[in-house]
């Protein structure tokens, strides 16, 4: 039997993500994602972005999208490989793939080639709870 979720449940789950990550952080790192978000972060930290409050719009249809400006200044030079969201209370996190526009990643940034001292901007991110 395949698990399928009602839209109202998916929207509630997306709303929980919204609340948990308001005022949290987004770390953009090099290399491949670790096996799971419980594993230690791998790769070089390129930039840490302080997420605004609210970081996400109101959830609807099982999804919530970034809101406000997500931008930080790079502390290292390299190619972005993945990103980790960290909750404001640092007890929860989740990892995503990252690409620049058109690359098909979960999180879209303005340029994957990050340079120390340069601004890095997340242009698009939507958290969608699977059906």
List the domain range (segments joined by +) for residue 119: 22-128
Kindly state whether residue 49 falls inside one of the protein's structural domains: yes
Counting beta carbons within 10 angstroms of the beta carbon of residue 43, is it exposed (0 to 12), middle (13 to 18) or buried (19 or more)?
buried
The per-residue pLDDT for range 92-117, each reduced to its tens digit, is 999 999 999 888 899 999 999 999 99
Cβ atoms 29, 46 nearer than 8 A:
yes
Q: What is the mean pLDDT of the chain?
A: 95
Kindly state whether residue 80 falls inside one of the protein's structural domains: yes
Q: Is the pLDDT of residue 52 over 90?
A: yes
Kindly state whether residue 4 falls inside one of the protein's structural domains: no
**pLDDT band of 131, cuts 50, 70, 90:** confident
Cα 18 to Cα 29: distance, rounded to the nearest angstrom: 22
* pLDDT, position 114: 98
Kindly state whether residue 9 falls inside one of the protein's structural domains: no
Kindly state whether residue 67 falls inside one of the protein's structural domains: yes
Task: Tell me the average pLDDT across 11-29.
Answer: 94
Number of domains, the chain: 1
pTM: 0.93
């Amino acid at each position: 039997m395949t698990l399928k979720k009602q839209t109202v449940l998916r929207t509630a789950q997306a709303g929980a993500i919204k609340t948990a990550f308001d005022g949290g952080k987004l770390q953009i790192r090099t290399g491949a994602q670790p096996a799971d978000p419980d594993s230690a972060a791998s790769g070089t930290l390129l930039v840490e972005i302080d997420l605004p409050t609210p970081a996400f719009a109101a959830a609807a249809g099982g999804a919530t999208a970034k809101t406000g400006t997500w931008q930080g200044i790079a502390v290292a030079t390299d190619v972005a490989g993945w990103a980790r969201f960290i909750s404001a209370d640092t007890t929860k996190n989740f990892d995503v793939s990252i690409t620049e526009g058109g690359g098909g990643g979960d999180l879209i940034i303005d340029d994957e080639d990050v340079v120390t001292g340069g601004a890095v901007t997340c242009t698009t991110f939507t958290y969608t709870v699977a059906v």
